[in-house]
Chain A
Amino acid sequence: MTTEISHISVQYSKTIGRGEQFGPGFTYPINVARGKEGIMYVLCRGTEFRPEGVRVVVCTTDEEYISVFARGIDYQGPHAHNMDDGALVWPTSIALDSQENLFISDEWLNRISSFSKDGDFLGKWEERTGSGDGELDRPSGMAFDADDNLYIVDSGNHRVQKFNKDGKYLAQFGTYGSGDGQFDMPWGITIDEAGDIYIADWRNDRIQKFKPDGKFLMKFGNSGSGEGEFDRPTGVAVDQDGVIYVSDWLNNRLQIFDETGKFIDLKTGEAGLSKWGKAKLDANPEMYGERDRAQGLEREKDFWGPTGVTVDDEGNIFVPESARNRIQVYKSQSPTFAGPRL
């Protein structure tokens, strides 16, 4: 009898980020989008106390800082917000269209804002709070399909809506519940190469897969902390080989499944010192001493509340941990024999 080895192998690659309100670093990074030529856009949720921390940080996958744009909202009272164009309150996800324009969902303003890849504000969809066709209640995850249509997880309405990138409503699927095709406060979304849609059905602790027209295809996962079980999955991503990655929020891990939803592996985190992190310590050498004395430093490796997962065409898997102000990067490797060294 032969021992079956999975064709899927995922290994830790590196860690990006550090906690900062300005410049190189993140403030509660909640979602990541990959651009071209090694660019990545990191959406920082920030807090209402420090609106400057709410922003998009542009950097490379090699942790070269490029720029920052957008900001939070200064508000004048508990019911009075300054809703300037381009400002964000509760930004949740970021999606790139084919031109690499950025679309950002804001689940407080029920607004979709768009920016150029250089950070110029392009526009916003008119606010559309509600539950009717095309209306939004806490838009969470977003993903573009190959035709530049934008699928938005309309979490408060427990459904997914489809728009063109100008914001014209096209279609929807899903209702509240726990049956097939129903949702309970869904969060993350991804679209695979075939155009099929995967939803992190957050409070149902499962992943659901749909045809582009919303026809239910499959589901996997249920509540728990065992293999293949979830405690509030936040994000889902599918790589070129159809491998499915799920950020398992309150279980503090990344789970990996094959294209049928069969559990393959899980990662609990292996974070190391990031380039920006090392720069911070080099500039404050006394921190090295503090770290030498610290008890339980190995806890730094562990995931803590991963809020999403993004894959790119190079086999990189990005897992933002908002509470740790960093992104752990894993890499998909082929375990198949690659031939002898030449």
Chain B
Amino acid sequence: MSEQDISQIAHLMRRAGFGAPLEELQARAAKGYDATVDELLDPESQPPMERDMMMRYKVDWFSQAGLEGQQEEWTFRMINSKRPLQEKIALFWHCVLVTGHAKCEYPKQQAMELDMFRTVGMGSFHELLKGLSKDPAMVFYLDNCMSHKGAINENWGRELLELFSLGVGMDGDFNYSEDDVKEAARAFTGWTVTNSVPRYPYGKYDAKFMFDPRDHDAEEKTFLGETGNFNGEDIVDIIVKQPATARFVARHLYNFFVADDVQVPAWKDTPPQDIEAIKMLEEEYFRSNYNITAMLQVLFKSDFFKNSTFSKVKSPAETVIGTLKLVGDFKFPRPGLDLMTMNIRYMGQDLLNPPTVEGWHTGREWIDSGTLVERINFTADQVGNINHSGVKNIINRLSSVGPVLTAEQLVEGCLENLGAYQLADETRKQLLEMAESDGEIRTDSEGFPLQVGTMLQSIVATTEYLFA
């Protein structure tokens, strides 16, 4: 297998998952790129998480009653799932179809929402939007339970159109009007949730979605040019067949999986950077009857994806999870995982608790002077810990090359083990000089593991390592 094969698989696993150690990359490269894509797109072919074991040791993962425990559990899943794309797609939809802990009656409702993203998120966008419309976490978060016949609350109707499906506009035009927002809100009246069981004395119980026909405005509405006595499902039916929805889904998939794009509010006036790629995805959206897996199949096997290496700034979740997978930590539930999840928060991504309904701004907006320090400190601490099993594996692999390594072998070996990373010439030159400054690099020397650890730390502190 060639370096090119490993490089391409490493790229795929960073995007369709959270990266992988070299031994996994080699195994997947041996199976082939297309076969790996097919496996990732068929999560049911791989074993599920051993949730019984997880809940036995982490009792709060059983109840899912608090934010911290849920962040931990999700972090653990992202590190260890044999279905990496399933967790990645859950993260994708969490970043798009946003609810937040800060306005959540019962945190377990968000866990149930994530489960919906895992199970429906790779299926039909049509079904996903219908599920989202009835998702108690969403109904509460965007106040549809406060929207009544004759006294609508527009929040859900507005965000459904603006942030969850059509987007404000495309190609310079608006995709919907204020009247459409109001008519959508009317159609969703009566879509509410039950009063929940209060927290004391035994903890909350999940609220249920309910339709209250007495509170539903069943009168005629005109929405996106169509007229009828629409209810919420009718609104979703109309939304999913709009070209703007195809553009919205395609552009989000591109921004998350392929290359950083401008932020959502700019999409009306800023055309996609690769319109041909977007059009391929839009066509597949309609051809497949709105199927997300079909769109991802096109995406991952396309040249525009294969040529998009290192064109995305890693999100905090990708940074932390990818690092922990690489170093082989937290393969089993154990104390201390909450500190890892805190690092995701410190880097600017408080999972399950995004700053607004718009979610997080991505790309270079992940990086500022504070989050950059957090990012580098965290990754350097982890890869520099030569007691981690994954770091030991890297040291052993480099040792097996021979008794003496050249500076180039050390640098290139570390880059390969970190996921076939590529450096700018100047960066590479500096690392080579650093490696040469230690004199002869003997793999059987006592200081060799530390030399490797230091080199890994130096690489993860580079600008290049911020990208995936």
Contact with B along A28-53 (1 / 0, CB 8 A): 10100000000000000101110000
CA distance A324 to B59 in the complex (A): 11
Complex contact B195–A287 (CB within 8 A) = no
Q: Which residues in B have their C-beta under 8 angstroms from that of A168?
A: none
A17 to B200, CA, bound (A): 11
Give min CB distance, A205 to chain B, whole Å.
10
- Residues of B within 8 Å of A305, CB to CB, are 55, 62-63
Q: A250-B52, A277-B202, A323-B203 are in contact. Are A78 and B194 (CB under 8 A)?
A: no
Query: How far, in angstroms, from A300 to B198 measured CA to CA in the complex?
Result: 11
Interface contact B208-A322, CB-CB below 8 Å: no
Given contacts A30-B59, A323-B65, contact A280 B201 (CB under 8 A): yes
- Check if A122 is an interface residue, CB within 8 A of chain B: no
**In the complex, what residues of B have CB within 8 A of residue A326's CB?**
201-202
Shortest beta-carbon distance from A24 to chain B in Å: 11
- For the complex formed, measure the closest distance between the CB of A19 and the CB atoms of chain B, giving whole angstroms: 6
Please provide the chain A residues from 265 to 319 with a CB less than 8 Å away from any CB of chain B in the complex.
Answer: 271, 273-274, 276-277, 280-281, 284, 287, 290-291, 293-297, 299-300, 304-305, 307
Cβ–Cβ < 8 Å partners of A250 in chain B: 52
CB pair A290 B198 closer than 8 Å: yes
A77 within 8 A of B: yes
Question: What residue in chain B is nearest A284 (Cβ atoms)?
Answer: B200
Q: Which of A77, A294, A325 contacts B195 (CB 8 A)?
A: A294
For residue A89, CB closer than 8 A to chain B, the reply is: yes
From 153 to 184 in chain B, residues with beta carbon under 8 angstroms from any chain A beta carbon are none
CB pair A271 B195 closer than 8 Å? no
- 8 Å CB interface, B54-85 against A: 55-57, 59-60, 62-63, 65-66, 68-69
Q: Which of chain B's residues have a CB closer than 8 A to the CB of A276? A: 201
Asked, given contacts A78-B337, A299-B197, whether A107 binds B57 with beta carbons under 8 Å apart, the answer is yes
Whether A108 lies near B198 (C-beta < 8 A) is no
Whether a CB of chain B sits under 8 angstroms from the CB of A203 is yes
B199 — which chain A residues lie within 8 A by C-beta? 19
- Does B200 contact A323, Cβ atoms closer than 8 Å? no
- Which residues of the other chain, A, contact B59 by a CB distance below 8 angstroms? 28, 30, 45, 47, 307, 322-323
A204 to chain B, nearest CB (A): 12
Tell me the complex Cα distance, A304–B336, Å: 26
**Residues of A with C-beta under 8 A to B56:** 185, 187, 202, 232
Residue of B nearest to A108 (CB): B335
* Of the residues A49, A280, A281, contact of B68 by C-beta under 8 Å: A49
Residue A125 lies at the interface, judged by CB distance under 8 Å to chain B: no
- In the complex, which residues 359-378 of chain B have their Cβ closer than 8 Å to any Cβ of chain A? none
Residues of A within 8 A of B198 (CB): 287, 290-291, 294
**Are B195 and A295 interface neighbours, CB within 8 A?**
yes
A281 to B197, CA, bound (A): 13
Query: Out of B201, B336, B339, which one reaches A19, CB within 8 Å?
Result: B201
B window 205-241: CB within 8 A of A: 205, 207-208
Q: Does A206 interact with chain B (Cβ within 8 Å)?
A: no
CB-defined contacts of A49 to chain B, threshold 8 Å: 66, 68-69, 338
Which chain B residues lie closer than 8 Å to A232 at the CB level? Answer: 52, 56
A296 interface neighbour in B52, B194, B336, Cβ under 8 Å: B194
Question: Which residues in A have their C-beta under 8 angstroms from that of B68?
Answer: 47, 49
B340 at the interface (CB under 8 A from A): yes
The listed residue with most B CB atoms (<10 A of its CB), out of A18, A323, A326, is A323
The answer to whether A293 touches B195 (Cβ under 8 A) is yes
What range describes how many residues of B lie at the interface? Answer: 20 to 34
B331 within 8 A of A: no
| B308 on the A face (CB < 8 A) | no
**Is there contact, CB below 8 Å, between A296 and B205?**
yes
Closest to A234 in B: B56
**Whole-angstrom distance between the alpha carbons of A77 and B66 in the complex?**
21
Q: Given the complex of chains A and B, what is the CA–CA distance between A290 and B337 in angstroms?
A: 35
Residues on A with C-beta less than 8 A from B208 are: 295-296
Q: Is B196 an interface residue (CB 8 A)?
A: yes
Q: Are B197 and A291 in contact (CB under 8 A)?
A: yes
Tell me whether A47 and B194 are in contact in the complex, defined as CB-CB below 8 angstroms, given that A274-B201, A296-B208, A300-B205 are known contacts: no
In the complex, chain B residues whose CB is within 8 Å of the CB of A300: 197, 202, 205
CB distance B334 to A108 under 8 Å? Answer: yes
A183 interfacial by beta-carbon distance below 8 Å: no
Residues of A131-170 contacting chain B, CB below 8 A: none
Find out whether the CB atom of B197 lies under 8 angstroms from the CB atom of A296: yes
Contact pick for A287, options B55, B65, B196, B200, CB 8 Å: B200
CA distance A326 to B205 in the complex (A): 15
* Contact digits for B307-338, partner A, Cβ 8 Å, 1 yes 0 no: 00000000000000000000001000011111
Separation in Å of the B67 CB from the closest CB of chain A? 10
Within 8 A of B (CB), among A64-104: 75, 77-79, 81, 89-90
Looking at the assembled complex, report how far the CB atom of A281 sits from the nearest CB atom of chain B, in whole angstroms: 7
Taking Cβ atoms with an 8 Å cutoff, the residues of B that contact A are 52-53, 55-57, 59-60, 62-63, 65-66, 68-69, 194-203, 205, 207-208, 329, 334-340
Q: Can you list 22 A-B contacts with CB-CB less than 8 angstroms, sorted by A residue number? A: A19-B199, A30-B59, A47-B59, A48-B338, A49-B66, A49-B69, A77-B336, A78-B335, A78-B336, A89-B335, A108-B335, A232-B56, A273-B201, A277-B201, A294-B195, A295-B195, A295-B196, A300-B205, A307-B59, A322-B62, A322-B63, A324-B203
17 further A-B contacts with Cβ under 8 Å, apart from A49-B66, A324-B202, are: A17-B201, A47-B59, A49-B338, A75-B335, A75-B336, A78-B337, A78-B340, A81-B335, A250-B52, A276-B201, A281-B200, A294-B198, A296-B197, A296-B205, A297-B197, A305-B63, A324-B203
